């Protein structure tokens, strides 16, 4: 556990300095090749857990320290220790002793060993009182930045606490069954025979009782299923494509929604993404599923003149870049990396993409605008402004009971997502 704690602490320090957790862990797996599967899993669990509850843990650490630590890695090692003492089932003395040894690997300073030991044991002794004090401030209570809490309170005055609490849950593992290969009920039986409990959420959506490595999923390599959140699985059905349609997925990578569209109908699909490596992922994912697009291109959705063939589309999916504020369960680092002034910048880019794509749509065609955000500036307000600018745009109604004017809020079964279906009249 010592090595696991040490590497997790160093990874968290890099994230808090500005790096994405996904990129940090990819680098760890690349450089630390001798790690066992158990160690990799432990490092990932600790890194995600500390960032999920960073507000609470940091509040506790401020109560336990007289002054900030001079070393970011040691600071994060204490966060790891506190997380394990609160949220894991390890015996307290094992957590403390391992953290002390891990501090020796990071520093070798005997004073540091004593400090780590004293801080963590002091928490164990005063745990109830310290936990009560840590939640006196909202950042400690909800483990989100204060600006984030304030924004949600203003936009969802009656729901913001539930949203914040749901955003700290562990995300479920949800599968999308490839209906061209297997029926969802049939695949559910396949899972059960493999010893995996699962429930059917919708026609092609299955939620696993416990997450599992994708390589352990029956038929994954053969293209029977994909991993995709339930909220994201709504995109393709909402666009309602039919055989023979010419369809554009304008921000396609890594290709989950492109694949879903192709699973639902025989369409001529163009998939575009502005990152060449990510665009290649679209082709790879389609190939695994036994699907193929008409074209997979590298291109900027806001500059279609550089890749568009001048033939208009019947349907367009615009899953635009956004704050990702609805998927923090899966990416808890987002809460601490995102800044309040990022939101207007995302909104401006979304507006540019919408304007550029609208002219690519045939009269009578539909464009599905989508974000994995829960902030109104990127969602309802963005669409309101678009409708005011375009008299030829009509917002189509949805019949989804969980949606509030197109907004899905995060809960135990899906992420936060927003959809708006626009018809060109």
The residues that are catalytic are: 372
Query: What separation in angstroms does the CA of 267 have from each of 101, 245, 306?
Result: 59, 5, 23
Query: What separation in angstroms does the CA of 280 have from each of 114, 286, 295?
Result: 51, 10, 12
Q: Report d(CA 54, CA 145) in Å as an integer.
A: 10
8 A C-beta contact, residue 262 and residue 286: yes
**What are the φ/ψ torsions at residue 356 (nearest 5 degrees)?**
-70, -40
Sequence-separated (6 or more) residues with CB below 8 Å from residue 265: 241, 242, 243, 245
Burial class (CB in 10 A: 0-12, 13-18, 19+), 37: exposed
**Tokens 């808890």, located at residue:** 332
**What are the φ/ψ torsions at residue 337 (nearest 5 degrees)?**
-90, -30
8 A C-beta contact, residue 105 and residue 83: no
**What are the φ/ψ torsions at residue 297 (nearest 5 degrees)?**
-125, 150
Query: What separation in angstroms does the CA of 419 have from each of 147, 177, 275, 331, 376?
Result: 24, 22, 24, 21, 12
Q: Report d(CA 49, CA 4) in Å as an integer.
A: 13
Burial class (CB in 10 A: 0-12, 13-18, 19+), 379: buried
Sequence-separated (6 or more) residues with CB below 8 Å from residue 253: 273, 275, 278, 279, 281, 282
8 A C-beta contact, residue 262 and residue 293: yes
Burial class (CB in 10 A: 0-12, 13-18, 19+), 111: exposed
Half-sphere exposure of 280 (CA within 13 A, CB side): 2
């Amino acid at each position: 556990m010592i090595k696991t704690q040490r590497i997790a602490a160093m990874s968290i320090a890099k994230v808090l300095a500005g790096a994405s957790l996904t990129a940090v862990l990819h680098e760890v797996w690349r450089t630390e090749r001798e790690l066992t599967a158990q160690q990799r899993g432990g490092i990932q669990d600790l890194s995600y857990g500390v960032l999920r509850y960073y507000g609470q843990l940091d509040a506790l650490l401020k109560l336990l320290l007289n002054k900030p630590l001079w070393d970011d890695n040691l600071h994060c090692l204490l966060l790891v220790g506190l997380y394990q003492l609160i949220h894991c089932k390890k015996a307290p003395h094992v957590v403390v002793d391992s953290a002390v040894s891990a501090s020796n690997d990071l520093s070798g300073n005997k004073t540091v060993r004593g400090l780590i030991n004293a801080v963590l044991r002091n928490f164990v002794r005063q745990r109830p009182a310290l936990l009560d004090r840590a939640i006196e401030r909202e950042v400690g209570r909800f483990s989100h930045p204060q600006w984030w809490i304030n924004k949600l309170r203003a936009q969802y005055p009656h729901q913001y606490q539930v949203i914040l609490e749901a955003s700290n849950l562990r995300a479920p593992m949800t599968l999308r069954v490839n209906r061209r290969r297997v029926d969802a009920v049939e695949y559910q039986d396949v899972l059960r025979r493999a010893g995996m409990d699962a429930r059917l959420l919708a026609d092609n959506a299955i939620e696993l009782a416990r997450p599992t490595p994708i390589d352990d999923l029956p038929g994954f390599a053969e293209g029977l299923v994909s991993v995709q959140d339930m909220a994201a699985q709504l995109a393709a059905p909402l666009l309602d494509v039919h055989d023979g349609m010419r369809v554009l997925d304008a921000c396609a990578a890594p290709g989950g929604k492109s694949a879903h569209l192709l699973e639902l109908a025989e369409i001529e699909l163009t998939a575009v993404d502005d990152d060449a490596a990510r665009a290649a992922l679209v082709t790879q994912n389609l190939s695994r599923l036994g699907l193929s697009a008409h074209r997979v291109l590298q291109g900027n959705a806001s500059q279609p003149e550089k890749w568009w063939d001048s033939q208009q589309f019947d349907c367009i999916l615009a899953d635009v870049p956004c704050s990702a504020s609805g998927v923090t369960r899966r990416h808890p680092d987002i809460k601490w990396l995102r800044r309040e002034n990022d939101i207007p910048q995302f909104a401006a880019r979304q507006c540019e993409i919408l304007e550029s794509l609208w002219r690519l749509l045939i009269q009578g065609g539909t464009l599905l605008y989508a974000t994995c955000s829960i902030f109104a500036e990127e969602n309802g307000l963005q669409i309101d402004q678009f409708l005011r600018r375009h008299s030829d745009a009509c917002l189509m109604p949805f019949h989804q009971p969980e949606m509030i004017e197109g907004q899905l809020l995060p809960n135990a079964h899906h992420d936060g997502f927003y959809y708006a279906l626009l018809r060109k009249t």
